[in-house]
Amino acid sequence: MIEDLRAALGDKAVLTGADCAPWSHDWTGQYDWTPLCVVRPASTQEVSAVMQLAHAAGVAVVPVSGNTGLAGGTRADGAVMLSLDRMNAVRDIRPEARLAVVEAGVILSDLHDAVAAQGLSFPMTFGAKGSARMGGLLATNAGGSNVLRYGNTRDLVLGVEAVLADGRVVDLLSELHKNNTGYDLRHLLIGSEGTLGIITAAVVKLVPAPKAFATAMVALDTVSEALTLLNRLQDVTGGAVEAFEFMPGRYMRAHAETFPEARMPFDELYGVNVLVELGATAPRDVQIGEDGQVPLTAYLEEVLGGLLEEGAVLDAVVASNEAQRSEMWARREAAAELSLAHKPLLIADVAVALDRVETFLDKAGARMAQIDPDFDTMIVSHLGDGNIHYTVWPSEGIDLDEVTETVEDVVLELGGSFSAEHGVGTSKLASMRRRKDPVALDMMRAIKQALDPKGILNPGKVIPS
């Protein structure tokens, strides 16, 4: 198999032994493996050649992009790991159509830079943007901080190109906003974590880059009061809230301890802290007025001032320059480092309706205290879309499966999802088996069997046996 791959791709594109080390573990340190080899194709045609060989030999293939996942989706013991890092071209940027054609190996921040030169933005962002690649975003239907305004990855993609298990290439690189011709195979492939096909390219939507931001840290008594703030800001700005990120007092304290050189936003520690950011492109919102102030910032200050007078907001600080804005975002984007600071741990990535976030936090905390009075948590939330990253550090001797089921019980009672944006991978297979509708699982297995009858595409992921 390895010799056939070398003949198809060239010796330098097929790695074995110690050269596979960078692709033999995930970045969290929770998973490690020994792949058969790592192949680094440079084109869709070369991906097709790899899959034809693997299909004929019945050898498993695990695709990998930036390898920044949190759910064990790239575990590849004895498999061919197919890295898309060399397929990193932004093929086209079409400003008038507000779209770009990108390959799967493009790093997210590189795409941001490429379209910024045209005054545009690809409005997907999160802490790993400097290493995460588009293939991973597409495979997991990634979320991030701007989902509130722009949606998940599926909402930002017009078309995809993918290689199937037998090496056939399916060209779904549509540039159309309306294309009602049967099943939406694009959406089937996005979020399938490489189990149905390997996405090699995509047509993504672009939006006008905001010409001004208004960013603030706000302290409140309760999460419910934070949602009141969100709704008021949406009303007064016409839906200009780009991010609304919740960090509880425990998170703020951990950040201060881990990064002692970073300034705290407030003089005292509050229980509920929210990073809010507005973005605007309209001249009426970004043109500096006679008072020397940007209207967008004035809107934010006006709302916060009113809530301070009412007592609905405890404290607030608005960024007055880009350095202060960057400082606020650095605090939020340190979440992965803070969450992974202790082991063992459970990284629960859940979603509930916005008005049930506070209920979830209260119930989950109470249930956890019953099974483990000494447990600790590290919580951060995309509060604007109801996504909660609920990391649990149990005390010694506590079964992680019991912790997982305890959190899931609360999520399901509230009509939520046990997997919001990180994907299923291998870490949530048991949850899929326990919690997913059995008919839905049967449908998934039927689709998998139809598209990958030999089961060679990222086997053992997403769908429980």
Predicted local distance difference test score (pLDDT) of residue 30:
84
| Separation between Cα atoms, residue 186 and residue 180, nearest integer Å | 12
- pLDDT above 90 covers a percentage of the chain that reads 89
What fold does the segment set 90-208 form as a domain? Answer: 3.30.465
In tens, the pLDDT along 266-292 reads 999 999 999 999 999 888 888 887 777
Strands 207-208 and 120-121: antiparallel
Confidence of residue 178 (pLDDT cuts 50, 70, 90): very high
* Architecture of the domain delimited by 2-83: 2-Layer Sandwich (3.30)
Q: 272 near 248, Cβ under 8 Å?
A: yes
Q: 50 near 5, Cβ under 8 Å?
A: yes
Predicted local distance difference test score (pLDDT) of residue 34:
96
Task: Report, as an integer, the average pLDDT of 191-206.
Answer: 98
CA 142, 218, 332, 326 torsion-angle sign: positive
Confidence of residue 293 (pLDDT cuts 50, 70, 90): confident
What CATH number was assigned to the domain covering residues 336-438?
3.30.70.2740
Cβ neighbors of 347 (< 8 A, separation 6 or more) are 28, 70, 339, 389, 391, 422, 427
- pLDDT above 70 covers a percentage of the chain that reads 100
| Separation between Cα atoms, residue 270 and residue 225, nearest integer Å | 14
- Would the pLDDT of 371 be above 90? yes
Task: Report, as an integer, the average pLDDT of 6-18.
Answer: 97
Strands 99-103 and 37-39: unpaired
3-state secondary structure of 136: helix
3-state secondary structure of 386: coil
Q: 188 near 196, Cβ under 8 Å?
A: yes
Task: Please report, for the chain, the start and end positions of each structural domain, with discontinuous segments joined by +.
Answer: 2-83, 90-208, 212-333, 336-438
- Would the pLDDT of 18 be above 80? yes
Nearest to 219 by CA among 276, 183, 270: 270
Cβ neighbors of 60 (< 8 A, separation 6 or more) are 54, 76, 78, 79, 80, 455, 456, 457, 458, 459
Phi-psi region of 247 (alpha: psi -120 to 50; beta: other; left: phi over 0): beta
| Separation between Cα atoms, residue 151 and residue 123, nearest integer Å | 9
Full DSSP string of 193-241: TTSS-EEEEEEEE-EEPPSEEEEEEEEES-HHHHHHHHHHHHHHHTS-E
Paired tokens of 267: 């003089």
Q: 461 near 452, Cβ under 8 Å?
A: no
In tens, the pLDDT along 374-390 reads 999 999 999 999 999 99
* Average pLDDT over the chain, rounded to an integer: 95
Q: Does domain 212-333 have CATH number 3.10.20.30?
A: no
Task: Report, as an integer, the average pLDDT of 91-112.
Answer: 98
In tens, the pLDDT along 403-450 reads 999 999 999 999 999 999 999 999 999 999 999 999 999 999 999 999
| Separation between Cα atoms, residue 253 and residue 379, nearest integer Å | 12
CA 79, 429, 145, 94 torsion-angle sign: positive
Assess whether the region 212-333 and the region 336-438 belong to the same CATH fold.
yes
Sheet holding 80-83, edge to edge: 14-15, 37-39, 80-83, 61-64
| Separation between Cα atoms, residue 94 and residue 115, nearest integer Å | 9
